[in-house]
Structure 1
Amino acid sequence: MARTRGARPRRVRLWRWRRNPLRRRSDLAEAWLLLGALVLALLLGVLSGLAAAGAVDGSLAERRERSSPVAAVLTEDAAGAAASVTENGDGGVWAKVRWTAPDGTLHTGRAEVSPRSPAGTEVTVWTDPAGRLVAAPPEGAEARFQTVMAGVTVAVATGGLVLLGGRLGRRRLELRRLGAWEAEWRRVEPSWRRRMTG
């Protein structure tokens, strides 16, 4: 029967799961391997993502507990939007400030402040229990974003690694199958060649 021009072969879905005389044991093993890898990738991805999000959320909460806002005073005029602009690009500049630690001692350091603030301006800085300057802990939307991004990143990475493992397992099955075909062909080929030439 001649194939019509342009006709595409019909795909048989889920053929590895259907009983037929052409299905090999390795086909069924491959089907189970792929299904197991998919289920495991989803399950481990979700669980590891939730664990990572929980860990980041706990870390941020601990950071918020360990740091506290403290009133500080600028000891110098803050520069204009010059070369000292902060890394996060929010328009702040670094300037020298003075604050009182919880134990009553005076400290000085550099903190991010609004540009062009004159000396003597009161600003808020964050300190640890020892009175040292620390970065302000993320709160609200920024904290939620960090938590969600950590969870999603870990979930995708974990799921991807499991799927990659499934692909490697499938490749091993294919190589075994090709090796078996080659061994079978070596046994059959001499008699087949005699029949064709004789």
Structure 2
Amino acid sequence: MARGEHTRKWLWRWKKNPLRRRDDIVEAWIVLAVWGIVALGGVSAGLVTALAGDEMFARQRAERQSVAAVLLNDVPRTVTALGTTTDHRLASVRWTTPSGSARTGRTQVSSGLKAGAEITVWQDGQGRLALAPPSSSTAAVESGFLGATAALALTGIVFGAGAAVRYRLDRRRIDGWGVEWDLVGPRWSHRTG
């Protein structure tokens, strides 16, 4: 197929044609709107989500700080049913907050450690235990993943809505053809007898 023929077929809804129906024009605008929203909205949603994620991770890196803690009980290695060992387990630790008060809590620590071992834990601005903030490179990857997910989610919603509207238009066209056939069909059918 020549390139010009493909372009003509692709743009048939936009050209003047005595067979073009009002529904064809509506469908053409719907298709254009869907692609426009996907292109502009998807990029916007992706960028906004990625930037928000990056800001959140940067805030976590700024507010969380590492502190030295003491393990309060032994953390044995656990062998799973498949014969592998788990690397981390929940254990009790004691640490000192920036204000100087001693606190205890439970957090994930490496398995195989004995009570009294010094470990590093992370705390938030209020002195509560928190997960370690992601590094800059990990945060960039996670922000990019969140942005791509937001863009794909918007794309799916927009394509789904466009498909639903086009389905309704198709049903309306088929119903219109049925009504027209009921009017014209009897003139074409020659009954003998």
TM-score range, shorter chain: 0.7 to 0.9
Quote how far apart the aligned CAs of 1:48 are. 1.2
The reply to whether residue 38 of structure 1 matches residue 35 of structure 2 is yes
SS of the residue 2:133 aligns to: coil
Show the counterpart of 2:167. 171
SS of the residue 1:39 aligns to: helix
Show the counterpart of 1:147. 143
Quote how far apart the aligned CAs of 1:117 are. 2.5
Q: Which moved more, 1:137-146 or 1:47-56?
A: 137-146
**What is the aligned counterpart of 2:24 among 19, 22, 27?**
27
How many percent identity over aligned positions? 41
SS of the residue 1:187 aligns to: helix
**Aligned-partner residue type, residue 154 of structure 2:** T
Residues 28/171 of structure 1: CA separation in 2 closer, same or farther (3 Å cut) = same
Q: How does 1:19-98 map to 2 (within 5 A)?
A: 19-82=16-79, 91-98=87-94
**Structural RMSD (CA):** 2.6
The reply to whether residue 185 of structure 1 matches residue 181 of structure 2 is yes
Query: What is the TM-score with the length of structure 2 in the denominator?
Result: 0.80
The structure richer in helix per residue is 2
Query: What is the TM-score with the length of structure 1 in the denominator?
Result: 0.78
In 2, the alpha carbon distance for the partners of 1:90 and 1:55 equals 33
Question: Are 1:79 and 1:95, in contact at CA under 8 Å, matched by a contact in 2?
Answer: no
Quote how far apart the aligned CAs of 1:20 are. 4.1
Quote how far apart the aligned CAs of 1:71 are. 1.1
The reply to whether residue 119 of structure 1 matches residue 115 of structure 2 is yes
Quote how far apart the aligned CAs of 1:128 are. 1.9
Show the counterpart of 1:4. none
